[in-house]
Structure 1
Amino acid sequence: MLAVPFLALLLSISPATTEAAPPAGDAAGDAASDAENADYLATKDEVQAAMLKANEDPTEGSASLRNALTKLQNHAPLLAVDAEGQELRTRAQLTLARALMAAEDSDGARDVMDEAIRTARGDPMPTASFGPGLTALHKERMGSLDKLGTGEIAVTCLSPCQVYVNERPATVSGVAGLVPGKYRLHIVDPEGVNRTLQQIIEVTADGTIAIEFGTAPIDPIEPTTTPAFKRMMPRWAEISLMVAGALTMGAGGALIGIHERCPDLSSPLADPQCPEVYLTRTAGIITLAGGGALFLGGTITLAVDEVRLSRSKERQPPAVSLVYTLRF
């Protein structure tokens, strides 16, 4: 019989544990991030291999090293926070410049050295480790570039952003004191709302390149409100004026009608014994005119108020607010 350790027996009969699977969205994001990191690490290895090749065969190796550097610099966010990657990139640039010098491509060597100086932004470079020829080239190019003055890349971030200039971190407001020449600008939205901006910027002496990124929040458009309609008079008052005017006009007409009449409204010519004759024409005319004024005033104010009320309802906008969001 085989002896089975007691602990192994317990483990063999213990229930299996399961772990909850991460959300699908998180898993996809992690997979993309892992793939990018793996590609970045592979590119760093490619740069190191190209450096060895450039040292062995400057003519053919310089082309491979230039391509590897370009691939490395395409990983701006990862390279910007990788001190080892930054050091590798600097050594690769100096190796490329030395290889071009060995291949008798002096113009290419100067261009690569200028690129390295612009990327370093004043930080020291280990040129002494690459021989006196490269040290002399560095000194010469530093002297020439210093005479050109400096320019600036000014960035305005309307939403959260991360700014990289030549794959090195920069402030969200940009970078000043840049040697004239071409720079690679990367602006990334950490929240993923806006697309990453990648642009080649030509900086000139005493010049400022202004770049705007993102979209500022847009406040909702408030519906325009029409001032509340106010009548000249309440409707009941206008109608009351018309009624009062009509009654007054009727009274005025009655007064005119009984002018030069007896109290029993008979004609004094037909009744010689008429004790009294009404003389009411003047009062009737005045009363009739006053009633007409009241009736006309009520009619006009009512008509004007009703027309204004109708137009006010036509102009009243629907209570709807629209919000437009522009992003690029």
Structure 2
Amino acid sequence: MFHTLLFSSLLLFTPPEGAGEAPAEAAGNATPTNFSEANALLLKLTKNSRLPTEQAIPALRAAIESSHEYAPSFAADEEARERQVSALLLLARELQRSGENEEAAAVMDEAIRTARDDTPNAGQFGPTLEELHDERMSHIEAAGVAQLKVDCARACKIYVDERMSEEAQELPLGEYRVWVEDVSGKFSALRVTARLTEVDEVVTVRYAPKPKPKVEALELQVPEASKKPERERLLAGWGELILAGVGAGGVVGGSVLIHEAKEDGGRSGGYALVVIGGGLYLTGVILAIVDETRASKRDKRKQKAKDKRKVELGWPIRF
């Protein structure tokens, strides 16, 4: 008996399936990123969705708005256009159920204008929605029409509410999404909302496109690490000769002083002079050798580059 009561209590407090799901997760309506995804979302919501009204309304709105982003693709796909109208009818029905009658009427008007000559099949979603359709259709017909004209400066394609359209056409009063694009694809498309508010007025949309901005690869010149210019010589040639000469003179002078000191039997500073003079002489000679070697290598590189230019500029003559 205790186990039966415990089991019954658990059933009472078990949440119903699907409770707590976020609307987006329940609908699976992640924002589409291309026409295929937008079309698939419309198909799911119009054919397989059993969402509660509070979840269906935002899901349908999002799917319908996504369809506006792919006018050329929807214009080329009859089934996709039918799904778009069905989604509008479903949205109108859900708005009716939630008591938002004015909003439902506005959505029904959009469905009628979007479908154009193809009468929306509102009856498939119930008699109440069909009555709303007939009522709004009578209202739209009584309101009259105006002319929407698209003036293209170059060959263009025109889409109105995701339907292929002519440059000039009579339409019921209301708002229309206008998409105009260059036939060659070299220019940017134009997307505007045209509002027809007065009977027999002519609303003109002008399309004079500018070339799409070219994205050119910029060649960035990264400065090389700063280098001190290579010196042609470590010491001027005349300086090396003087250095070697002074050093040789010091060696000779020091040697003389040492010799005289030996004859006199005294000490002499000639040794220091010999050491200093020898150092100066060796320094001058080594610098001269290094500089001459570097100069010789530079001359060879210059000659090689000159020979290469001669080959590149040479003109072969054949007989």
Identity %: 30
Shift of 1:146: 1.2
3-state SS, counterpart of residue 186 of structure 1: strand
3-state SS, counterpart of residue 148 of structure 2: strand
- CA–CA distance in structure 2, aligned partners of residues 75 and 119 of structure 1: 15
How is 1:294-313 mapped onto 2 (pairs within 5 angstroms)?
A: none
Residues 210-238 of structure 1: per-residue CA shift (max 9 Å, x gap): 1221369xxxxxxxxxxxxxxxxxxxxxx
- CA–CA distance in structure 2, aligned partners of residues 211 and 40 of structure 1: 26
Matched residue, 1:120? 115
- CA–CA distance in structure 1, aligned partners of residues 113 and 180 of structure 2: 18
Tell me: CA distance 1:38–1:105, structure 2 relative to 1, closer, same or farther (3 Å).
closer
Matched residue, 2:124? 129
- CA–CA distance in structure 1, aligned partners of residues 82 and 163 of structure 2: 12
2:56 corresponds, among 49, 57, 61, to 61
Conserved 8 A contact 2:92-2:108: yes
How is 1:83-98 mapped onto 2 (pairs within 5 angstroms)?
A: 83-98=78-93
3-state SS, counterpart of residue 34 of structure 2: helix
- CA–CA distance in structure 2, aligned partners of residues 215 and 73 of structure 1: 21
Residues 21-69 of structure 1: per-residue CA shift (max 9 Å, x gap): xxxxxxxxxxxxxxxx982111112223334686431122111111111
- CA–CA distance in structure 1, aligned partners of residues 157 and 169 of structure 2: 13
Aligned residue pair count: 178
Residues 233-288 of structure 1: per-residue CA shift (max 9 Å, x gap): xxxxxxxxxxxxxxxxxxxxxxxxxxxxxxxxxxxxxxxxxxxxxxxxxxxxxxxx
Tell me: CA distance 1:107–1:215, structure 2 relative to 1, closer, same or farther (3 Å).
closer
- CA–CA distance in structure 1, aligned partners of residues 42 and 81 of structure 2: 12
Matched residue, 2:172? 179
Alignment of 1:149 with 2:149, yes or no, is no
- CA–CA distance in structure 2, aligned partners of residues 75 and 41 of structure 1: 10
Q: TM-score, normalised by structure 1?
A: 0.51
Tell me: CA distance 1:96–1:54, structure 2 relative to 1, closer, same or farther (3 Å).
farther
Structure number with the bigger relative contact order (C-alpha 8 A, sep ≥ 6) is 1
Residues 95-116 of structure 1: per-residue CA shift (max 9 Å, x gap): 1111111111111110110001
Matched residue, 2:194? 201
Alignment of 1:70 with 2:74, yes or no, is no
Tell me: CA distance 1:75–1:101, structure 2 relative to 1, closer, same or farther (3 Å).
same
